[in-house]
A and B are shown apart, each in its own frame.
Chain A
Amino acid sequence: MANLKDIKRQIGSVSNTQKTTRAMKLVSTAKLRRAEELAKRSRLFADKTNEMIGEIAARIKCSKVGGIESRFFAEIDAPKMIDIVFVTADKGLCGGFNIQTIKAVKKVMAEYKDKKVKVRLRGIGKKGIEFFKYNEVELLDAVRDLSSAPDMTRSSEFISRSINDFNDGVIDGVYIIYNGYKNIITQELHVNKVLPANSSDFDCKDENKRSQLEVEAEDEEKMLDSLIVKYVEYNMYYALIDSVAAEHSARMQAMDAATNNAKEMVKTLNVKYNKARQESITTELIEIISGVESMK
């Protein structure tokens, strides 16, 4: 009989878990809708900004003259130290979402370590920070509560430290690594090299076909510099927004899978329970019958 009780208790516990995971899924679905909307609206701006910066960077590279020697656009042959900014979630229970980002960070780190480049890690999001702390990897910066509630002012403040260090020549590159939202069931890992501005997607041969780029400002470099600061700040902010949307979609999926698994488990436990019940009834019957038999 004890066995029957145990199974009953187990069924109760699993279906309670199922209730929780289903609730979490619903919460994530609601949050995802909002985050997705925000990410979609921002994506347009992010794409345009990147396009513009890419084009400017390429034109500077193609022309090679013009006297623009801004560090932001220069190609640095032998970097000595780089910054890796990573964005993870503050909360777990979202499948491989955080671990994917962490793996990518480790990969980029290893690549640069091989080239004898120092790497500074700057983390946003509790999960990533805890991981690296546990593994005793030093973090230059650790910011919590920002990845769950993206805020332009705070993110700009955070990334401006890297921009300033880059401008002062302390570091020679800045990466932003995050897991972004692709669609409701897929997340896409982004490893973005934001500084120096890259120009790979622009063909120099096109240069002649299009009219010259004319920068109309008294101080060209100042203009480009303030533009690139905005560009990096915005990229950071967009990474956060995109990451939130991805986090919710990942959690939604994970919780959906968990709910299904729980359902499956309740089913098998029920079968087990019924079997055990039948068994005990049979045993009881046999006992009674054999008792009656022996009385004869």
Chain B
Amino acid sequence: METLKLEILTPSGLIFNGEALTVTLPGEEGEFGVLPKHASLTTLLTAGVIDVEKADKSVESVVVNWGVVQVDEEKVVVLVDGAVAIRGENENEIASALEDAKKLVKDIADSSSAIATVSAKIESAAQKLI
């Protein structure tokens, strides 16, 4: 199966670097998915969740507050201000990641409905892990 190269970078380091089957990004004008060989595109991201379907078909979610994405045929580079990956070995770790993610979104999103939407998405992403 074809994959694309995905890099998610924050000012404090690389949080994701690897192959992915699909990536779903929270674009400023709505969510959009990227498959391998997607046409070049550059756009802004808003507060939301990036869903990455990895080569082994498992899904990883990363919560971001602001960012910009550059897509071309082979790779996707996401530059974000702040990001929290929802992952962990056990429930405790996932729960603390969840807290961090919610805090991150709360700081940036201005409308309560946006916070609610993103929070719901974060919850459901975490639910899948537990």
Secondary structure dominating the interface of A: helix
Please determine whether B10 and A45 come into contact, CB atoms closer than 8 angstroms: yes
A234 contacts across to B, CB distance below 8 A:
11
For B13, the closest partner residue in chain A by CB is: A41
Please determine whether B27 and A216 come into contact, CB atoms closer than 8 angstroms: yes
B56 contacts across to A, CB distance below 8 A:
none
The distance in angstroms between the C-alpha atoms of A44 and B43, with both chains bound, is 20
Please determine whether B40 and A227 come into contact, CB atoms closer than 8 angstroms: no
Interface size on B, residues (CB 8 A): 24
CB of B78, distance to nearest CB on chain A (Å) = 10
B42 contacts across to A, CB distance below 8 A:
52, 56, 213-216
In B41-65, the 8 Å CB interface with A consists of: 41-44
Whether a CB of chain B sits under 8 angstroms from the CB of A237 is yes
CB of B47, distance to nearest CB on chain A (Å) = 14
Q: A49-B79, A52-B77 are in contact. Are A230 and B68 (CB under 8 A)?
A: yes
Bin the interface of chain A by size: 20 to 34
Instruction: Fill in one digit per residue for A47-62: 1 if any B CB lies within 8 Å of its CB, else 0.
Output: 0110010001000000
Q: A48-B9, A211-B39 are in contact. Are A217 and B68 (CB under 8 A)?
A: no
Whether a CB of chain B sits under 8 angstroms from the CB of A135 is no
Please determine whether B41 and A214 come into contact, CB atoms closer than 8 angstroms: yes
* Selected contact of B12 from candidates A42, A211, A227, CB within 8 Å: A42
Whether a CB of chain B sits under 8 angstroms from the CB of A161 is no
Please determine whether B11 and A42 come into contact, CB atoms closer than 8 angstroms: yes
A216 contacts across to B, CB distance below 8 A:
27, 29, 41-43
Please determine whether A44 and B77 come into contact, CB atoms closer than 8 angstroms: no
For B14, B28, B66, the residue with the greatest tally of chain A CB atoms inside 10 Å of its CB is B28
Please determine whether A44 and B70 come into contact, CB atoms closer than 8 angstroms: no
The distance in angstroms between the C-alpha atoms of A217 and B46, with both chains bound, is 12
Whether a CB of chain B sits under 8 angstroms from the CB of A212 is yes
Whether a CB of chain B sits under 8 angstroms from the CB of A206 is no
Q: A210-B72, A216-B27 are in contact. Are A237 and B11 (CB under 8 A)?
A: yes
CB of B77, distance to nearest CB on chain A (Å) = 6
The distance in angstroms between the C-alpha atoms of A203 and B68, with both chains bound, is 23
The distance in angstroms between the C-alpha atoms of A211 and B77, with both chains bound, is 16
CB of A293, distance to nearest CB on chain B (Å) = 85
Instruction: Fill in one digit per residue for A19-45: 1 if any B CB lies within 8 Å of its CB, else 0.
Output: 000000000000000000010011011
For A43, the closest partner residue in chain B by CB is: B13
For B68, the closest partner residue in chain A by CB is: A227
Whether a CB of chain A sits under 8 angstroms from the CB of B73 is yes
B residues neighboring A (CB under 8 Å): 7, 9-14, 27-29, 39-44, 66, 68, 70, 72-73, 77, 79, 81
- 19 further A-B pairs in the complex, CB-CB below 8 A; given A44-B13, A44-B14, A48-B9: A41-B12, A45-B9, A45-B10, A45-B11, A45-B79, A48-B79, A52-B68, A210-B40, A211-B40, A211-B72, A212-B40, A213-B40, A213-B42, A216-B41, A216-B42, A230-B66, A230-B81, A234-B11, A237-B11
In the assembled complex, 17 residue pairs joining A and B whose CB atoms fall closer than 8 Å, in A order, are A41-B12, A44-B13, A44-B14, A48-B77, A52-B42, A52-B70, A211-B73, A213-B40, A213-B41, A214-B40, A215-B42, A215-B43, A216-B27, A217-B43, A227-B44, A227-B68, A234-B11
A residues neighboring B (CB under 8 Å): 38, 41-42, 44-45, 48-49, 52, 56, 152, 210-218, 223, 226-227, 230, 234, 237
Complex A-B, nearest 5 residue pairs according to Cβ-Cβ distance, in ascending order: A41-B13, A216-B43, A211-B40, A45-B9, A214-B41
